[in-house]
Amino acid sequence: MLISHAHFDHDAGAARIKELTGAKYLVMDADVPVVESGGKEDFFYGKTPDLLYPPAKVDRVMHDGDTMKLGDTLLTAHLTPGHTKGCTTWTFKVQDGGKNYDVVIVGSPNVNEEYKLVDNAAYPQIASDYEKGFRVLRSLRCDVFLGAHGSYYGMAAKYARIKDGAANPFIDPVGYKDYVNEREQSFRAELAKQQAGVR
């Protein structure tokens, strides 16, 4: 069992899934305290009781660049922090119709409502972490663009365009680049606003 990052909408069911299936849980190092505390250790949502969930034990702590094998597929965990301290973007290769494709599952490059990018005592390096995350996202080869929410990559619209004989809409290297650029501009605009003291 893999997650993109330790927010309730991605990890709140982990303890129950482990109990039902015996799945091994693999989590990026900096998100481990959050999932193992049921969200209490989250730098932003940890004090919001409604957003806490059953703690789940991590079976393997992942580090930036670590890989894991699922069947014949080798997945690589890239640390793309900021949204959470251990936010993870997963990559792997697939073959289809005799061609190789690079797949990217984006963790999250989003600056949530009320996130403090400046003078954040709970996460002092948050702004430089987002910058690291964007450097990583820009460096990845991407043919098939996926993400932790379908809205990142226009899942529903792409699904509706799937047709026999037509190009697969999920092969979208340009859409990936555009998305990363747009999200980085949005982050930089918010950072500039907060640095100027406008809240």
Q: How far apart, in whole angstroms, are the C-alpha atoms of residue 193 and residue 127? A: 13
One-letter amino acid of 65: G
**Interaction of residue 183 with Zn ion, rule CB under 5 A:** no
Q: Which is nearer to Zn ion, 67 or 112 (CB)?
A: 112
Least distance from C-beta 83 to Zn ion, angstroms? 5
Which CB, 8 or 173, lies closer to Zn ion? Answer: 8
In terms of CB distance, is 34 or 136 closer to Zn ion? Answer: 34
Residue 38's nearest CA partner among 61, 14, 2, 19 is 14
With contacts defined by CB under 5 A, name the span among 1-9, 43-51, 159-167, 189-197 that binds Zn ion: 1-9
Instruction: Name the residue nearer to Zn ion (CB basis): 81 or 143.
Output: 81
Cβ-count burial 105-131 (b if 16+ within 10 Å, e if not): bbbbbbbeeebbbeeeeebeebbebbb
Q: With contacts defined by CB under 5 A, how many residues of the chain interact with Zn ion? A: 2
Q: What is the DSSP letter of 45?
A: T
Is the CB of 62 or the CB of 101 nearer to Zn ion? 62
Centre a 10 Å sphere on the Cβ of residue 69 and count the other Cβ atoms it contains: 9
- Minimum CB distance to Zn ion, residue 126 (Å): 14
Q: 10 Å Cβ neighbour count for 93?
A: 15
Which of 3, 6, 7, 12 binds Zn ion (CB under 5 A)? It is 7
Q: Is 78 in the site for Zn ion (CB under 5 A)?
A: no
- Residues 85 and 79: beta-carbon distance below 8 Å: no
Span 95-124, contacts to Zn ion by CB under 5 A: 108
Are 104 and 93 contacting, i.e. CB atoms less than 8 angstroms apart? no
Residues that bind Zn ion (CB under 5 A): 7, 108
